Amino acid sequence: MPMKQYTVTFYSPGTFFAETTEKKIDSWDPQKALAMSKEITERYHSHPYGFRFFTHERADDELDSHVSDSSGTWYIDGTVKTLGDLKAENNPDNKILISNMECNEGWKRVVRTRSPYQWTQPFYDDDHVIRSDGTVVL
């Protein structure tokens, strides 16, 4: 009998890269994942800024499972900004971010979170923003 398992990977601010924690979940339920995220603390007391869902499958004749599907990233309490938004802020701290957005064609928008550390990532079309109260805003 084929096997199917769902997981959620949580992403928290790290020193150079995001810290990750993977947990099993019974469905791609953002409300359930959000509740699970509140129990995770990584190094330096950082908490998840977001999460992604994965579906793992294995056929009867396969030894190992493979990822057959994945979601975009669900950002917790994120603020989405366009290149125009950042330029309008006229904040010198955004200089490198603005340059990166201008040089990377796929970076039409970015998302900023605090968990408790500020974390900025490109925001893609299949990404979402969910508030800590469970409201999906984007």
Contact 126, 70 (CB under 8 A): no
Contact 28, 69 (CB under 8 A): no
pLDDT recorded at residue 138:
80
pLDDT recorded at residue 62:
80
How high is the mean pLDDT in each 10-residue block of the chain (138 residues)? Answer: 90 91 97 96 92 93 87 97 95 95 90 89 96 92
| pTM exceeding 0.95 | no
How many distinct structural domains can be found in the chain? 1
β-bridge partners, 19: 12
Domain containing 119 equals 1-138
Nearest alpha carbon to residue 9 among 58, 62, 65, 74: 74
